[in-house]
Amino acid sequence: MEKIRISSLAKELGVKSSLLIDKCHERGLTHITHHANTLVPEQAEMIRQLFQPSTKVTPAEEPKVKETVPPPIVEQKKEVKTVPQAGNVVKVVQPNKVVTVHRGSAPAQKQVVRVTPVKSYWKKKHPPSNISPKRREHLEEVAEVKKPIIKEKETKVIMESPITVKDLSSKLGIRANEIITKLLLEHNIRVTINQILKEDIVHLLGIEYGIEIEIRKREVVEEHNFIAEQVSTKVEDMVHRAPIVTFLGHVDHGKTSLLDSIRQTDVAAGEIGGITQHIGAYKVEMNGKHVVFLDTPGHEAFTAMRARGANITDVVVLVVAADDGVMPQTEEALNHAKAANVPIVVAVNKIDKPGANPMRVKQQLAGLDLIPEEWGGKTQFVETSAITKKGIDTLLERLLLESEILELKANPKNPARGVVLEAHLSEGRGVVASILIQDGTLHQGDIILCGKTFGRARLMTNERGIDLKEAGPAIPVSVSDFSEVPEAGDKFFVVNDIQKAREIAQERQKKERETSLMKFQHVTLDSLYSRIAEGKVKEIKVILKADYKGSVEVLKKALEGLSTPEIKVKILHCGVGGITESDVLLADASDAFVIGFYVTTEDKARILAEEKGVEVRLYKIIYDATNEIKAAMEGMLEPETKEVVLGQIEIRLVYNISKIGNVAGCYVKSGKITRNASVRLIRDSIIIYDGKLESLKIVKDDVREVRAGHECGIKIANYDDIKVGDIVEAYEVQKIARTLTG
């Protein structure tokens, strides 16, 4: 049996050896890798059959070839070079390619011949009979043509709000750049890929792309969905709880000192400037009963913190100094208590001081609808003294009486819930929050959901620093291990599933970010003028860091409250903790300065601030911070201008000097005229010209000023139309520094 080389077979068929090698691989002859490899006769015949449609034909058989081969296709232009042979030959090298056709001795002609592909050919024609059954089955499988699966275009999609350009692009299968360009060119709407689109714009885009878009509200897992099931309101489980009492009043009226007397401590001495900087919560026992006291800061800047204290309290003690009377912050505190709709007990403090007049205090408060019981009203007044301890027991009795009237109850079997009083970063403990439990019992290790943060109550301590394993209703505790610093005033709940707590916290964070993005507004014709005007407004840019979240809120509000129509205080960033390198870098990039309240600057941040020239100010008293910012703002105010008339002179002679112009000989009628003064030329009581002097002389000498009763010569700069009898009025514009209140 004589074998045939690949190169010889390729020459016989008029094709390249590489093509034959590929065909051999398609037919399972994987050992053929080189043109020198050989094939047995059966294998060679199988390969010849693959090229059967392009074998030699006679002129008489040409119509049969035309039956197999479709008419020429003119759109194909590519030429494939073939090997010419004698006689009438049609050589097809590749399907649907241009080939060279030889008709006897006639010149070669180029013609496009469509040849059915091998796989399709085997689908239409049965394989040759001389192929084994196994090989026949393989060829039939190879010849099977798979139809492409065409996915129908969706006509309706469902999306959850909010929807960004990126979300819409992914859902519709349209490039984000195309959507952005379409909105800009066709609707004059500028958007970015992560910007949230309004629902009407989403529907409009859906109509234009031929897709109906149904927008559904995102299902948010909230705490009430799984907390309500845990709360029990059974009467047999309810117990009396201690009243939560808040001390409110004007600064330096003795709130903290009075509270010190009640709980026999000395907190006021430890406060900087004698002013309470943070909310404190303390539990006091009297005759077997407990009272929880909240001591809110007394400075007027802490309005929000006092309001928060009034909203979580059961009874408010309004402290008024007997020697000072009702002050602005007293009225403010009273309004917070009324807004919270809680009972009010008035403590007329400092009764031991000379000049104390409790009657005047009662009269002033009566004018504010706070009528004493002895005058037929409902408000209890107690005269107290933090120094002599007078009235302390009476005040506690009144507070317990009020709590009995309120019938305060809680269920210690419930999961704990309450309010965050304060939160800060503590070295070694991480995030620490002071919380007040309003209902239920908090156990060590409980999962807590609080606003946009969550965590476990790994370490609990009371106000004296004693570790606790659990804490019941109306007990203030300090808890650590939150994921981030919670907001003061946030409500907290104990939940069973930490994964659900994480989901809710993350959803709230996302919602807050989306809300901030939605605040962006495009420029309209109505707002264009105001935007231009705002471009002239000066700004003081501040980065604010403080030790407690409440302090951050208060300082931010106090500083922003200093803004005027001309100068605005803009807080670029605020947070809890020390001043870091990132704070300094932000200040450097934004041309801002850093304010730290009761915090320190890290060493690296201090060195970086010196290198960048960033100013870092540290304060321990809020007065100092606000006063210095106020002074800086006053320095940025445009000064007031005031025009002061210096004197009047009369032109009596006019001289024309070549190359100089007209020079006036004058007489000073009143006041004086100075060399640097501005002047007005007045003729018939009408101002003809307003400008500056070019020269002022007496005879030939230059002088700085000439007073009334003397003669002088003047030259008005860039003006020569002067006449005898004209009056020249000298004046100057004085700039007067302004204040924020001025």
Residue at 741 is within a domain: no
Query: Which of 99, 118, 143 is at the close of a domain?
Result: 143
Phi, psi of 532 (to 5 degrees): -65, -40
The single residue listed with the structure tokens 């490899």 is: 37
Pair 632, 534 in one domain: yes
Pair 599, 721 in one domain: no
338 is in an annotated binding site: no
Pair 290, 399 in one domain: yes
Residues in the chain: 742
Q: What are the start-end ranges of the H helices in 51-154?
A: 62-68, 118-124, 133-143
Residue 681 has pLDDT above 90, yes or no: yes
Tokens of 381: 């007044």
Q: How far is CA 66 from CA 58, 74, 124, 314, 567, in A?
A: 12, 16, 17, 103, 92
Looking at residue 643, its pLDDT comes to 86
**What CATH number should be reported for the domain holding residue 326?**
3.40.50.300
299 is in an annotated binding site: yes
Looking at residue 740, its pLDDT comes to 57
Pair 481, 538 in one domain: no
pLDDT category at 63 given cuts 50, 70, 90 is: very low
Q: For 529-582, write each residue's pLDDT tens digit.
A: 454 455 545 678 888 999 888 888 888 888 888 888 777 888 888 888 889 888
Residue at 233 is within a domain: no
Residue at 228 is within a domain: no
Residue 146 has pLDDT above 50, yes or no: no
The single residue listed with the structure tokens 């859906």 is: 206
Residue at 742 is within a domain: no
Q: Is the peptide bond before 162 cis (omega within 30 degrees of 0)?
A: yes
**What CATH number should be reported for the domain holding residue 608?**
3.40.50.10050
Between 97-111, 254-268, 326-340, 708-722, the lowest mean confidence (pLDDT) is in: 97-111
Q: Where are the extended beta strands (E) located within 396-498?
A: 409-410, 417-426, 430-439, 442-443, 447-450, 453-456, 460-461, 467-468, 470-471, 476-480, 491-495
Residue 701 has pLDDT above 50, yes or no: yes
Task: Determine contact, residues 115/54, Cβ cutoff 8 Å.
Answer: yes
Q: For 457-468, write each residue's pLDDT tens digit.
A: 888 888 778 888
Phi-psi region of 96 (alpha: psi -120 to 50; beta: other; left: phi over 0): left
Looking at residue 215, its pLDDT comes to 84
Query: Which of 358, 386, 407 is at the close of a domain?
Result: 407
The pTM (predicted TM-score) of the whole model is: 0.50
Pair 611, 714 in one domain: no
**What CATH number should be reported for the domain holding residue 651?**
2.40.30.10
Q: For 215-247, write each residue's pLDDT tens digit.
A: 877 655 554 555 545 566 677 778 888 888 888
Give how many domains the chain has, as a whole number: 6
Mean pLDDT of 421-437: 83
Mean pLDDT of 587-615: 86
Q: How many helices (H) and strands (E) does the chain have?
A: 21, 39
Mean pLDDT of 164-174: 87
295 is in an annotated binding site: yes
pLDDT category at 401 given cuts 50, 70, 90 is: confident
pLDDT category at 741 given cuts 50, 70, 90 is: low
Pair 586, 706 in one domain: no
Residue with more model confidence, 648 or 272: 648
Pair 446, 555 in one domain: no
Residue at 522 is within a domain: no
Looking at residue 257, its pLDDT comes to 85
250 is in an annotated binding site: yes
Strands 460-461, 89-90: parallel, antiparallel or unpaired by DSSP? unpaired
Residue 714 has pLDDT above 80, yes or no: yes
Q: For 458-500, write each residue's pLDDT tens digit.
A: 888 887 788 889 988 888 888 888 888 887 778 888 888 888 8
Q: What are the start-end ranges of the H helices in 188-254?
A: 199-208, 224-227
Between 180-189, 315-324, 509-518, the lowest mean confidence (pLDDT) is in: 509-518
Pair 125, 195 in one domain: no
252 is in an annotated binding site: yes
Tokens of 206: 């859906």
Kindly report the number of other CB atoms within 10 A of residue 130's CB atom: 10
Pair 46, 186 in one domain: no
Strand order in the sheet with 567-576: 567-576, 538-546, 593-597, 616-619
Pair 601, 650 in one domain: no
Residue at 225 is within a domain: no
pLDDT category at 588 given cuts 50, 70, 90 is: confident
Closest by CA position to 597, among listed 558, 553, 546, 635: 546
Looking at residue 523, its pLDDT comes to 45
352 is in an annotated binding site: yes
Residue 249 Cα to chain centre, angstroms: 36
Q: What is the mean pLDDT of the chain?
A: 77
Tell me the DSSP string of 378-421. Answer: SBEEEE--TTT-TTHHHHHHHHHHHHHHHT-EE-TTSBPEEEEE
Tokens of 267: 């907190």
CA distance 548 to 597: 9
Residue at 293 is within a domain: yes
CA distance 230 to 496: 9
Pair 620, 691 in one domain: no
Q: What are the start-end ranges of the H helices in 69-172?
A: 118-124, 133-143, 165-172
Residue 669 has pLDDT above 90, yes or no: yes
What angle (nearest 5°) sits at the alpha carbon of residue 139, between those of residues 134 and 144? 130
Residue at 627 is within a domain: yes
Instruction: Residue 677: give the domain boundaries.
Output: 640-736
pLDDT category at 138 given cuts 50, 70, 90 is: low
Tokens of 706: 């000439």
Pair 627, 647 in one domain: no
Query: Which of 86, 119, 143 is at the close of a domain?
Result: 143
Residue with more model confidence, 305 or 726: 726
Continuous segment of H or E residues that includes residue 518 = helix 498-518
181 is in an annotated binding site: no
Q: For 633-645, write each residue's pLDDT tens digit.
A: 766 556 677 888 9
Task: Determine contact, residues 735/640, Cβ cutoff 8 Å.
Answer: yes
351 is in an annotated binding site: yes
253 is in an annotated binding site: yes
What percent of the chain clears pLDDT 70, i.e. is strictly above it? 74
